[in-house]
């Protein structure tokens, strides 16, 4: 099957100010993610990365600026319709406890009114894609899944209706390191395969540098640097970025260059 | 017990009237409590106020409340019916609020993020998850209402309370016992049935 091409995401002077807060959560952020690109938003908690992510599917309203998908302002699209066209996965996963794995994955196709036969086929296809054997997992309940399995189902649910944009908010933050590495590899594979434009939020530097086509480092609501991982390591724009990505640590840099060549070499 | 055996048709008719009264009051109470509960669950500040008021209402002795409604509506079915609807509010609304606010916030976030409308989030995620707690509220309300409904016998309504109050007037302890035992059995049966429903709703959550 030919995957639909990802949509370009443009942030144009995006500002989000919450009432009662003395500084905006996101302040005048401008950058673009090209179609099919995997962009990681990296920074400590409270830096505005999740808020920025949530402006794309309008879970957060803008105080100023615009968010454009393929040049179209998301503010002009019905929020519910917009969200159905955008994949969304979060750290807590939020699988619906009263539904089976198959029903969870089928949520968006069901909302979109796909025929039942198409939904069934799609569920099996997705379970296979995230490497969960359909016959074994289809009828399980979320409670019967391990943390890693639940995350896989969460990813399958997020991409079920073939979204052109995928938003992931620390999706692997709650699983242990081994499973996380596994999930990262598979996400990179899936996203490359589908060509979905992906915004991925994390505070984990290692994860950011492994996964990203480009990394956006955020701090106190603003952008510190946007760069491809190797460039960020080679020439951090600010002392903050330098410290964050251990740019001064030659061993880490070498280790990471090695990781990157392994990850990206095959693609 | 011998009274129940010897006047079975009479007791059965009063029990049926009792069930009818409580059933109708419970249905109307739910129709009121569901929107009230949903509203309170969405507005934390209003919630404290609403549940506080309903709780205060709940502390008024049922006999006193009934006396007020007899002044307003006269004798018969209406005063006890209105009193039951009001008494049910607190238990029903409280559990609806607890059920909805108790839903895992990650599931609600995911539901919105995946593109469910507010109504769909309520119907497809919050309601099924809250159901066991809501049914628990219905069960507690139903049992309390079965007990309070016996006061209907005092104000000219029907139901098993008629046996109790007639027994008091006529000095017939067997009637009093019959009315009390029948009302208790009714409460036990309803409690058991709703427990089953509650368990099934809980099991549906996985």
The residue in chain B having the minimum alpha-carbon distance to the alpha carbon of residue A81 is B115
Can you list the domains of chain A with their CATH numbers? 30-94+164-265 (3.40.50.300)
Residues making up chain B, counted from first to last: 206
Annotate A7-23 with b (16+ C-beta within 10 A) or e (fewer): bbbbbbebbbbeeeeee
Tell me the sheet residues that pair with A55: none
3-class DSSP state of A59: coil
Q: Which pTM does this prediction carry? A: 0.86
pLDDT winner (highest mean) among A101-105, A250-254, B66-70: A101-105
Q: What is the pLDDT of residues B99-109, one digit of tens each?
A: 999 999 999 99
Residue A113, chain B, CB below 8 Å: the answer is: no
User: Could you tell me if A257 and A243 are in contact, meaning their C-beta atoms sit under 8 angstroms apart?
Assistant: no
Domain count, chain B: 1
Handedness of CA B157, B161, B163, B167 (dihedral sign): negative
Does A142 sit within 8 Å of B125, measured CB to CB?
A: no
Give the whole-angstrom CA distance, residue B21 versus residue B87: 14
- Predicted confidence band at B132 (pLDDT cuts at 50, 70, 90)? very high
Does B113 sit within 8 Å of A59, measured CB to CB?
A: yes
Overall average pLDDT of the B41-53 stretch: 91
The residue in chain B having the minimum alpha-carbon distance to the alpha carbon of residue A159 is B114
Give the whole-angstrom CA distance, residue A66 versus residue B45: 33
Contact residues, chain B, for A81 at CB < 8 Å: 115
For residue B8, what is the domain's CATH number? 1.10.3720.10
What is the model's pLDDT at position A264? 62
- Predicted confidence band at A265 (pLDDT cuts at 50, 70, 90)? low
User: Could you tell me if A39 and A33 are in contact, meaning their C-beta atoms sit under 8 angstroms apart?
Assistant: yes
ipTM for the predicted complex: 0.90
The percent of residues in chain A predicted with pLDDT above 90, rounded, is 70
Q: Residues 6 or more apart from B136 whose CB is under 8 A from it?
A: B95, B198
Give the whole-angstrom CA distance, residue B141 versus residue B162: 21
> Within 13 Å, how many C-alpha atoms sit on residue B166's CB side?
15
Does B206 sit within 8 Å of A84, measured CB to CB?
A: no
What is the model's pLDDT at position A266? 46
Q: Is the pLDDT of residue B23 over 60?
A: yes
Does A107 sit within 8 Å of B206, measured CB to CB?
A: no
Q: Which of A53, A58, A97, A145 to mutate to test the interface with B (most CBs of B within 10 A)?
A: A97
Give the whole-angstrom CA distance, residue B114 versus residue A265: 34
Q: A56: distance to nearest CA of chain B, Å?
A: 11
Distances in whole angstroms, Cα of residue A210 to Cα of each of A43, A189, A263: 15, 12, 8
Give chain B's end-to-end CA distance (angstroms, integer): 44
Which residue in B127, B96, B121 sits closest to B109, CA to CA? B121
Q: Is the pLDDT of residue A186 over 90?
A: no
Contact residues, chain B, for A142 at CB < 8 Å: 206
Contact residues, chain A, for B124 at CB < 8 Å: 96
Residue B114, chain A, CB below 8 Å: the answer is: yes
- Predicted confidence band at A112 (pLDDT cuts at 50, 70, 90)? very high
Q: Is the pLDDT of residue A61 over 60?
A: yes
Q: Is the pLDDT of residue B2 over 80?
A: no
Does B114 sit within 8 Å of A83, measured CB to CB?
A: yes
Give the whole-angstrom CA distance, residue A207 versus residue A25: 23
The parent domain of residue B70 ranges over 2-203
- Predicted confidence band at A8 (pLDDT cuts at 50, 70, 90)? very high
Does B206 sit within 8 Å of A94, measured CB to CB?
A: no
Residue B203, chain A, CB below 8 Å: the answer is: no
């Amino acid at each position: 099957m030919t995957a639909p091409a990802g949509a370009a995401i443009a942030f144009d002077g995006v500002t989000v100010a919450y009432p009662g807060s003395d500084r905006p959560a996101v302040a005048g952020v401008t950058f673009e993610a090209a179609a099919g690109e995997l962009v990681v938003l990296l920074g400590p908690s409270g830096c505005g990365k999740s808020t920025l992510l949530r402006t794309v599917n309008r879970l957060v309203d803008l105080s100023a600026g615009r968010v454009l998908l393929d040049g179209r302002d998301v503010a002009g699209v019905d929020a519910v319709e917009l969200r159905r066209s955008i994949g969304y996965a979060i750290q807590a996963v939020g699988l619906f406890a009263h539904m089976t794995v198959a029903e969870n994955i089928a949520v968006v196709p069901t909302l979109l009114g796909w025929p039942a036969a198409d939904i069934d086929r799609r569920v099996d296809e997705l379970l296979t894609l995230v490497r969960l054997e359909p016959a074994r997992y289809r009828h399980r309940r979320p409670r019967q899944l391990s943390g890693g399995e639940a995350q896989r189902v969460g990813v399958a649910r997020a991409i079920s209706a073939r979204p052109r944009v995928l938003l992931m908010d620390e999706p692997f933050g709650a699983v242990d390191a081994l499973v996380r590495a596994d999930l990262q590899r598979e996400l990179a594979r899936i996203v490359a395969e589908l060509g979905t434009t992906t915004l991925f939020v994390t505070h984990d530097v290692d994860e950011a540098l492994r996964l990203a086509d480009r990394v956006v480092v955020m701090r106190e609501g603003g952008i510190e640097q946007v760069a491809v991982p190797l460039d960020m390591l080679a020439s951090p724009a600010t002392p903050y970025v330098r410290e964050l990505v251990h740019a001064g640590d030659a061993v880490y840099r070498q280790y990471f260059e090695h990781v990157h060549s392994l990850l990206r070499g095959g693609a | 017990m011998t009274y129940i055996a010897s006047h079975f048709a009479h007791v059965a008719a009063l029990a049926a009237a009792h069930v009818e009264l409580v059933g109708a009051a419970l249905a109307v109470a739910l129709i009121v409590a569901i929107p009230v509960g949903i509203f309170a669950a969405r507005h934390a500040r209003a919630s404290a106020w609403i549940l506080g008021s309903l709780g205060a209402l709940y502390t008024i002795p049922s006999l006193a409340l009934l006396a007020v409604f007899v002044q307003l509506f006269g004798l018969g079915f209406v005063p006890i019916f209105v009193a039951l609807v009001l008494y049910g509010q607190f238990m029903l609304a409280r559990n609806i609020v607890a059920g909805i606010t108790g839903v895992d916030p990650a599931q609600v976030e995911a539901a919105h993020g995946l593109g469910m409308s507010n109504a769909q989030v309520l119907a497809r995620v919050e309601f099924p998850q809250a159901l066991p707690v809501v049914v628990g509220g219905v069960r507690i309300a139903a049992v309390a209402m079965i007990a309070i409904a016996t006061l209907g016998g005092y104000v000219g309504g029907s139901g098993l309370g008629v046996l109790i109050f007639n027994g008091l007037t006529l000095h017939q302890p067997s009637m009093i016992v019959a009315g009390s035992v029948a009302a208790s059995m009714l409460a036990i049966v309803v409690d058991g049935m709703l427990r089953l429903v509650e368990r099934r709703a809980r099991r549906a959550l996985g």
